[in-house]
Chain A
Amino acid sequence: KQEVTQIPAALSVPEGENLVLNCSFTDSAIYNLQWFRQDPGKGLTSLLLIQSSQREQTSGRLNASLDKSSGRSTLYIAASQPGDSATYLCAFTDSWGKLQFGAGTQVVVTP
């Protein structure tokens, strides 16, 4: 069974520091990988999508990389702000179209 692991489980940084969130998966046969943000008790907001043929995607302060051969994706958030506090989830789409989620990294950015 495919597994998705996110490290660390929780992270607290002062405002202005860069954030590095890691996601690993056991099977390289993925169609794409998506990073989501979830605020407490709220829905999932898609941040970045990396197709299986791509190696990275960027949107503003966010950059996500994908290395299928090593089964890893990393989300970088530059110059963190208190508004970045949330849980970040990575998920990949498998060959059946199913999203496989990691458990998430809970981020707190302190002013």
Chain B
Amino acid sequence: EAQVTQNPRYLITVTGKKLTVTCSQNMNHEYMSWYRQDPGLGLRQIYYSMNVEVTDKGDVPEGYKVSRKEKRNFPLILESPSPNQTSLYFCASSPLSMGAANYGYTFGSGTRLTVV
């Protein structure tokens, strides 16, 4: 089954303790992206990647890191989490390539992160 898999689904952690949220897709998509969703603010892009070893900042990149060493994986790293990073996080992928954005996005099931 074609899908985007995020882990974990739920995570409670303490301020300053490094964590990684994994994201993997089995559709050979070039484009992957991370979003966070907060009440009243909607979905905002954190980072995106056009392909392996190509990543760039989205709208709210502060406090986050990403890497794209393999096409299928795009982990989100919080090196020193803070309470304002408590949110619902989504990973998404698409077979986009420059000038050929005729395909939609597939989203993971989400990771609910609480930083205390």
Contact = CB atoms under 8 A, between A and B. Distances in A.
B104 A34 contact: yes
A101 interface: yes
22 contacts: A32-B103, A32-B104, A36-B107, A41-B88, A41-B112, A42-B110, A43-B108, A44-B90, A45-B107, A46-B104, A49-B104, A52-B102, A89-B43, A91-B43, A93-B96, A93-B104, A97-B94, A99-B43, A99-B92, A101-B42, A101-B43, A103-B42
B74 interface: no
Interface residues of B, number: 26
B104 A98 contact: no
Contacts, number: 62
A43 B107 contact: yes
A33 B16 CA distance: 39
B105 A46 contact: yes
Nearest to A33: B104
Majority DSSP secondary structure for residues of B touching A? strand
Question: Does more than half of chain A's interface fall in helix, strand or loop, or is it mixed?
Answer: strand
A21 to B, nearest CB: 16
